[in-house]
Amino acid sequence: MKEILSGNEAFARGAYEAGIQVVTGYPGTPSSEIIKTIGELYNEDIYCEWSTNEKVAMDAAAGAAYSGRRSMVTTKQVGMNVLSDSLLYTVYTGAEAGLVVITADDPGLFSSQNEQDNRWYSRLAKIPTLEPQDSQEAKDFVVKGIEISEKFDVPVLIRSVMRISHSKTIVKLGERPEVPKEVYKFPRNIPKYNCTAMYAKKMHAKVEKRLLDIQEWLETSDLNKIEWRDTKIGIITAGVVHTYVRDVFPNASILKLGMINPIPKKLIKDFALKVDKLIIIEELDPVLEEQIKALGIAVNGKDIFSPCYELLPDRMKEFATKAGLLKTEKSPENKYGELLKNLPVRSPVFCPGCPHRSSFYVMNKLKVPVAGDIGCYNLGSMPPFNAQHTMGSMGASIGVLHGISLAKIPENAVCTIGDSTFFHSGMPPLVNMVHNGGRGVVVIMDNSSTAMTGHQDHPGIGWNVTRDRKAKKIEIEPLVRAMGVEKVVTVNAFNVKEVKEGLEECLEFEGVAVLITKGECIFVSRNPKPAFTVNTEKCIACHTCFKVGCPAVVMDVVKNEKNDKFKVKIDPTLCNGCSVCSQVCPTGAIEAPQLGKESLAE
Amino acid sequence: MKNINFLVAGVGGQGTILASDIMAETGMLIGYDVKKTDVLGLAIRGGSVISHIRWGEKVDAPMSMRGKVDYLLAFEPIEALRQIEFLNRESTTVFNEYKVPPVTVSSGLATYPSDDVIVKTLKNSAKKICSINATSKAVEAGSVKAMNVMMLGALSPFLDVNIEIWEKAIEKFVPKRFKELNIKAFHTGREIIKKKENFL
């Protein structure tokens, strides 16, 4: 049986075919669809959950693997920073059953705050690491990863990138092996599983020896593939970049590594001897290149190919041509440059009917300093709002707000954090702020969803991704009160007046105040209201409604002759009837479809 | 054989990914090796979305290089313009005439290119261009959501693929209750282009 699967669907299928029984993770592009797929297709056989954060996910998977269940963790590249604390101890301990961690990196920063290369974690943690080139290998490498994990008693890292996770290729499907229903008792093996210094000392020696054992085994493994063609140029590469190399250098000899940590040193030396010129082609950092150079082999790599962004075939070809590796082709004349530069950009915007719109409209109006966090609401940093002034990592906003108050700037500041992000890593900094007497307003934007990554559940929601979908809902308001916050105001996120008054009230407070803006993501409520319309007679073309940045509010062809500006209309195919634009209209020109019909703001 | 390279371009919310999934499935059903890759922005709605699809005996990279796309299927005029560097003198472009102005345009920060510029540029960039107002036709047919499948229908006369294969691929990806609507939309798109382009 063959099917077209995305890399993430293939990783999920791999978990099924590897006999994995527990999968945990926190959502993050481009990794989120792995657990989504398991929840939809394989949850009869595999327990999966969205954990509150990546570290919690890693610990839970470790506990399950210690107890004899094959387990897997999924994360995006920056989630690895959260997860790594626990990854490192699992490399020391090993487990009773296979344990695989998948990191999905984001070269090109399609949905991330940085372009970190998680292959460095392979070296830091001394963890064997596989890198697939397509969905077939994505599936196969999970199975292989569990095999290696159990053979060498070590977790295995699988490194994906957006182009693996989100591309689709044909996959041959296999079967799920028999897995034990019952497992042996929890191993009370303190020297193996308790990383106290006296045991950890021995574990470290084991880690070093194990790495050498794996390297020895790797030299003859079928994970490495050599394709002999012309030997003038030899290329060492791995992962999806191998498929680009095939298109750009169809005649070159290639050593394609399936395992990228450790590396097969003997095999690389042999390959190097048989080619005239050796080139390492890898996206982002020179992780392979530096190790191969350390073997005393002369290579080219980052002197030719940039360490920034994706190394897609067009770009790879440009770099290679510049370095004289490829013949210069007559390049097609660049006749579209000017035109393409002037095309109006389509920057991402809050969806029509988004509950965040009114909050940023208000923050922009009040001109408060805003420390931001990670989620859809970071779109509040874009025009017309320009109201999220910092953003760095998950949960950072509250700590940054605390620091702003420590700096004693003359304004009272605000921070924004989503419901899922608050549970992920917002609770420790809030407790810190209350305990140490900070001042500022924490706006928790509760849209009942982990929206940006595809509407996954989190502890504030009454369902989850497990088989029976049953989950305990944790209410945010009593939670923050229990954390010692004395001023807590909850408002309807769709009601501009309520949001404004709530924020003003909180800004007055001498201490830590929490404003909860409650309003469901339009993709959660799935309850669009009928579209609003503009009464052209009443519209004075003041364009105040454009300040809510809604794609459904567009320019009409009719002008107001007094100010020579175009009036406004609403695209009925886009409007979800949230009423925010009509609330800010000074002349009441934006009208509800039927009078008396309840709107989201009520 | 040479690979057949497609590029589907649209705006978030228009069903670009679904259309490209159907094209990939169609390729596999014919017996080709198939790869596809999507590029979508941060938000679910509003950003530009593109999908590369490649059919062939053996496909390596999932995306085409500039100048190597054989068929550009665009769901919005400026989204077609944005991709012209991928086209060559033998390419075919099929685009939806319905404009979705970016917020930058509706709020007066940028201007939408004139129809004249759009048509002239697209004509110069490929061997053949044709267009339908698939959004309006899809609304007439019962749902704006079927625009993407109608556009696949508009592309279909250029490809030597059995109707049954297209229909099988469409059925796999659209919700059951919208199956008939979508199959009808596919045929509407197909017939309009067949008439326009004098396909026999």
Chosen CATH of A225-322 out of 3.40.50.920, 3.40.50.300, 3.50.50.60, 3.40.50.180: 3.40.50.920
Interface test mutation site (partner A, options B45, B59, B111, max chain A beta carbons within 10 A): B45
pLDDT for the residue numbered B41: 58
Task: Tell me the pLDDT band of A383, cut-offs 50, 70 and 90.
Answer: confident
**With an 8 Å Cβ cutoff, are A555 and B101 in contact?**
yes
Q: What is the 3-state secondary structure (H, E, C) of A474-511?
A: CCHHHHHHHCCCCEEEEEECCCHHHHHHHHHHHHHCCC
pLDDT for the residue numbered A332: 61
Separation CA B157–CA B130 (nearest Å):
12
**How close is the nearest chain B Cα to the Cα of A170, in Å?**
7
Chosen CATH of A2-218 out of 3.40.50.970, 3.30.428.10, 2.70.70.10, 3.40.50.720: 3.40.50.970
Residue extents of the structural domains in chain A = 2-218, 225-322, 357-525, 533-591
**Tokens of residue B175, six digits:** 């919700």
B115 touches chain A (CB under 8 A): no
Peptide bond into A384 cis (omega under 30): yes
CATH homologous superfamily of B4-196: Pyruvate-ferredoxin oxidoreductase, PFOR, domain III (3.40.920.10)
**Tokens of residue A331, six digits:** 């390049």
Chain B hits for A244, Cβ within 8 Å? 60-61
| pLDDT tens for each residue of A499-544 | 999 999 999 999 999 999 999 999 988 888 999 999 999 999 999 9
pLDDT at B43 over 50: no
pLDDT at A338 over 90: no
The answer to whether domain A357-525 has CATH 3.40.50.970 is: yes
pLDDT for the residue numbered A191: 98
pLDDT for the residue numbered A598: 56
| pLDDT tens for each residue of A220-240 | 999 999 999 999 999 999 999
Q: Tell me which chain B residue has its CA closest to the CA of residue A566.
A: B108
**With an 8 Å Cβ cutoff, are A546 and B42 in contact?**
no
Segment 56-95 of chain B within 8 Å of chain A by CB: 59-63, 65-67, 78, 81-82, 84-85
**With an 8 Å Cβ cutoff, are A344 and B139 in contact?**
no
pLDDT for the residue numbered A42: 97
B162 touches chain A (CB under 8 A): no
Separation CA A32–CA A599 (nearest Å):
33
Of A2, A4, A111, the CB nearest to B42: A111
What amino acid is encoded at A99 in this protein?
Answer: L
Q: Which residues contact A485 (CB under 8 A, 6 or more apart)?
A: A430, A434, A442, A512, A513, A514
**With an 8 Å Cβ cutoff, are B25 and A4 in contact?**
yes
The residue-averaged pLDDT of A63-71 equals 98
Task: Tell me the pLDDT band of A495, cut-offs 50, 70 and 90.
Answer: very high
Flag the least confident range among A105-109, A194-198, A530-534, A571-575.
Answer: A571-575
pLDDT at B8 over 60: yes
**pLDDT averaged over chain B?**
93
Percent of chain B whose pLDDT exceeds 70 = 96
Q: What does CATH list as the number for A533-591?
A: 3.30.70.20
Chain A hits for B109, Cβ within 8 Å? 344, 383
Q: Are A84 and A92 in contact (CB under 8 A)?
A: no
The answer to whether the A2-218 and A357-525 domains have the same CATH topology is yes
Instruction: Give the residue carrying structure tokens 């809902």.
Output: A473
Gap between the terminal Cα atoms of chain A: 53
Neighbour tally for A24: CB within 10 Å: 25
Separation CA A174–CA A533 (nearest Å):
55
pLDDT for the residue numbered A429: 98
pLDDT for the residue numbered A469: 86
Chain A hits for B38, Cβ within 8 Å? 166-167
B145 touches chain A (CB under 8 A): no
The residue-averaged pLDDT of A269-284 equals 98
pLDDT at B1 over 80: no
**With an 8 Å Cβ cutoff, are B139 and A543 in contact?**
no
B113 touches chain A (CB under 8 A): yes
Task: Tell me the pLDDT band of A340, cut-offs 50, 70 and 90.
Answer: confident
| pLDDT tens for each residue of B146-176 | 999 999 999 999 999 999 999 999 999 999 9
Sign of the alpha-carbon torsion through B14, B18, B22, B23: positive
Of B61, B104, B113, the CB nearest to A244: B61
